[in-house]
Amino acid sequence: MESVRQYKYFDFIMAAFVTVLLCANLIGVHKVSSVDLPFYGPYIFGTGVLFFPLSYLFGDILTEVYGYARSRKVIWAGFGALIFASLMALAVTNIPPAATMKPENIEAVNLIFGQTWRIVLASLTAFWLGEFVNSFVLAKLKVLTNGRFLWIRTIGSTIAGEAVDSMIFYPIAFLGAPGWSTEQVISVMIGNYIIKVLWEVLATPFTYKIVAFLKRAEHEDYFDRNTNFNPFSLEVR
């Protein structure tokens, strides 16, 4: 029986991926900000978008170096972490508080961690579909380009994956919700999508350096020519 190959840095990248994913979803999802741009005016965006694209960056690196099958396992690990975080938030916000807690502290905890079923459903669905689309597109483009033009793969997969993520998350999470007009939902969705893609473009030089380092250190540059792309399979090779 063939042994599964071990890598030096794979576990670290997986941990970084899950950490960024949890922080972006728990810390940045509730706050909307804006900046005044010349000739445009107020540019509205969700603050979590400044950090969430890191998960796509790590997803690109995982697929590019280690292949779709290993990236698939990391996506499922992130999905499981999101489910646990949602269940923990549900339990924490519903357990009766002690009489010694100040009402404003209770209200703050419930406001920050009291995610509605819509937020949870939107986060889980958008993440799962968006990440798998991102990994699938990058893997296919790598074979199509025969490993050349890394920037086409990273940016192209992000354009596809983030489009799926954005078009699923914002309508499910906020359309018709109190305090969210349809115009604001669309503005935030489009604004965040542009920032996510731009983020990937700006990060391209760093992606090149990280990918080159990992390929040398791991002696791996996987091509998904005969890969089973079923997202529900956990087979590595």
> What is the reported pLDDT for 1?
43
Q: What is the mean pLDDT of residues 101-105?
A: 91
User: How far is 207 from 39, CA to CA, in rounded Å?
Assistant: 32
Percent of the chain with pLDDT over 70: 96
Separation between Cα atoms, residue 204 and residue 151, nearest integer Å: 7
Task: Evaluate if pTM is beyond 0.75.
Answer: yes
Q: How many angstroms separate the Cα of 218 from the Cα of each of 47, 49, 140?
A: 35, 31, 22
CATH of 10-218, one of 1.10.150, 3.40.1000, 1.20.1530, 1.10.1760: 1.10.1760
C-alpha pair distances (Å), 48 with each of 20, 78, 83, 150? 10, 17, 18, 26
Mean of per-residue pLDDT scores for the chain: 89
Q: What is the pLDDT of residues 157-205, one digit of tens each?
A: 999 999 999 999 989 988 888 778 899 889 888 888 988 899 999 999 9
